[in-house]
Amino acid sequence: MPLVKSYFNPIFVFKNAFISTVYSGLFRQLNIKQKRERIILRDGDFLDLDWSYTAGQSNKLVILLHGMEGDGQRPYVTGVAKHFNSNGIDAVCVNFRSCSGELNKKFSSFHSGQTDDIKDVIAHVIKTYNYTSIFLKGISLGGNIILKYLGENDNIPQQLKAAMAVSVPVDLAASSKALHQFKNILFHIYFMIGLKYKLMKKQRQFPDKISRKALYSVWTLRTLDEVYTAKANGFTNAADYYEKSSSLGFLSSIKTPVLLLNAKNDSFLTPSCFPLEMAQKSKYLHLETPEKGGHVGFIQKGCVYYNEKRALEFFRKFQ
């Protein structure tokens, strides 16, 4: 599949990757009415889903997955939901485990390669509702989960028509190193504040599985993945977790139309996160790599972001 030509051209101030990333993540505000539904997963844990609807009845649905330290109310997720709702498509924002305001029941939590939960969400939607066209859109970590899910499964439901992944670290090991570089130190600190707080709560919840001494040793994302994420989710260590959870190794197996939108000035991504050769050989993987955009910062004039418009345009080809 030829690479997709990008027409994204932000106004001057948002050509800066840092500004566009911070503004999109911290300062954008949206109003949207959501209805929460709790579902029980196969392992007995739970997920909270935040639903929003179009004005009339719809047989189309977009399932949205947020990024690290996000949730179903973040503007980069609700912005997509609002745009789709105004164009006749219902939306459900998935809150990963421990991301809806309540700690999950298990010692393990969400991670970058956790595809079992999205399987449960899709199965629940198909069993409970009457949507004939379902689309997936994931942001950053959520995008990696979607790409891995599509590539590792041969029995994708027929209702699932297409997907889009935005600002995705498809090579987790490389992106982890990038996040530890000085240029990303503010983002690193921001992520660590939230993750360390959750880890402290998890330690109190399961004091027999993680000690206070181990907790106090966690000051970087890599250490957190080594001490908690990898071990809690059945991986040998952080390196094993990154290797097995990266969607990069699953892209060539995808048989569902998917658009990967990664900006070239995204400081979280490395050259390996732009699978040009793979996209050229694939019938299903569409790759768009605009010069600007930062990390989930595709801001343009008006209330709707570029990645939100592109998602609707792309999905309409397969509905």
How confident is the model over 166-185, as pLDDT tens digits?
999 999 999 999 999 999 99
136 shares its domain with 263: yes
Nearest of 307, 290, 300 to residue 3 by alpha carbon: 290
What domain range is 311 assigned to? 12-171+247-316
Q: What is the mean pLDDT of residues 110-131?
A: 97
In a domain, 3, yes or no: no
Can you list the alpha helix ranges (DSSP code H) found in the chain? 17-22, 75-85, 116-128, 141-152, 172-179, 185-205, 212-216, 221-224, 230-232, 238-245, 276-281, 306-316
In a domain, 128, yes or no: yes
Model confidence at 302, pLDDT cuts 50, 70, 90, reads: confident
156 shares its domain with 55: yes
Residue at 204: amino acid letter: R
In a domain, 275, yes or no: yes
List CB contacts of 202: < 8 A, sequence separation 6 or more: 98, 103, 107, 109, 210, 228
**Does the predicted model carry a pTM greater than 0.95?**
yes
In a domain, 1, yes or no: no
The domain boundary, picked from 184, 214, 245, lies at 245
Q: What is the mean pLDDT of residues 98-103?
A: 96
The domain boundary, picked from 212, 245, 278, lies at 245
pLDDT given at position 3: 87
191 shares its domain with 209: yes
For the chain, give the longest Cα–Cα distance.
55
- Output the average pLDDT for the chain: 96
> Is the pLDDT at 305 greater than 70, yes or no?
yes
137 shares its domain with 26: yes
44 shares its domain with 193: no
In a domain, 264, yes or no: yes
pLDDT given at position 166: 98
> Is the pLDDT at 37 greater than 90, yes or no?
yes
251 shares its domain with 286: yes
Question: How many domains, in total, are found in the chain?
Answer: 2
The domain boundary, picked from 245, 261, 288, lies at 245
Instruction: State the DSSP code for 273.
Output: G
Q: What is the mean pLDDT of residues 68-76?
A: 95
In a domain, 148, yes or no: yes
Q: Is 133 or 11 the better-scoring residue by pLDDT? A: 133
pLDDT given at position 307: 98
How confident is the model over 188-219, as pLDDT tens digits?
999 999 999 999 999 999 999 999 999 989 99
> Is the pLDDT at 2 greater than 70, yes or no?
no
Model confidence at 1, pLDDT cuts 50, 70, 90, reads: low
80 shares its domain with 165: yes
- CATH code, domain with 295: 3.40.50.1820
Helix (H) or strand (E) holding 94: strand 90-95
Q: What is the mean pLDDT of residues 237-257?
A: 97
Question: Quick check: 228 and 138 in contact, CB under 8 A?
Answer: no
> CA angle 126-132-134, nearest 5°?
70
Question: Quick check: 39 and 268 in contact, CB under 8 A?
Answer: no
69 shares its domain with 105: yes
